[in-house]
Amino acid sequence: MNHTFSLDILASDKKFFSGRAEFIAIPSSDGEMGVLPHHQNMIAAIVPGIMRYRTEDGQTLEASVSAGIAEIMNNRVKIFVLSAERPEDIDINRAKEAKELAEERIRQKHSQQEYLLSQLAVQRAMSRLSAASKYRSLK
C-alpha cells in the first residue's frame, strides 16, 4: 500500500510546493486538521495559520498560510491559499507593522466587513510572526 499522497500547495502568486507527502496539518476554524494517505474525499476551509507537512523523504516543513481551501480527492491534496511563506522568508519587522496596522483598523470600528478583514489580517500577521520566531530560535 502506498503511504504517500500527491500534494500541491498553490498560492495566488506561485506554486509553493508540488510533490508527494506522508502527512499535512492544515489550520482550520476548528483547530488543526490532519490528512494522511487515502483520506476521505472532502473540501475544507483554511484559516490563517501555520501549516505543517511531511514530504515522502521524511522532511517536515512548515509554512505560514493565509485563508483558502483544501481539496482532498482520490489520494490527492490541493491547497489553494492567497499566500504561503516559509518561515525563513518572513520579514519580522514587516509582519509586526502589518499586525499593528490591522489592530488599529479594528480599533477604528468601521463596517462589519472591514472589521472581519482586519481580524483576518491580524491572524495572518500573528501566524507569520510565530513561524518566523520559531524558525529563528532553532537556528
pLDDT digits (tens, 9 = 90+) for 79-136: 999 999 988 887 778 877 877 877 777 777 667 777 677 777 777 777 777 777 765 5
Give the Cβ contact number of residue 48 at 10 Å.
23
Comparison of pLDDT for 9 and 121, the residue scoring more: 9
What pLDDT is stored for residue 88 in this prediction? 83
CA 71 to chain centre: 14
pTM of model > 0.85: no
What does the angle CA 58 – CA 63 – CA 65 come to, to the nearest 5 degrees? 140
Dmax (CA) for the chain in angstroms is: 56
Q: Distance between CA 112 and CA 106 in Å, rounded?
A: 10
C-alpha cell read off for 77 = 491534496
CA distance 121 to 82: 12
Q: Are 7 and 77 in contact (CB under 8 A)?
A: yes
Q: How confident is the model at residue 57 (pLDDT cuts 50, 70, 90)?
A: very high
Give me the residues paired with residue 85 across strands. Answer: 64
Q: What is the pLDDT of residue 134?
A: 66
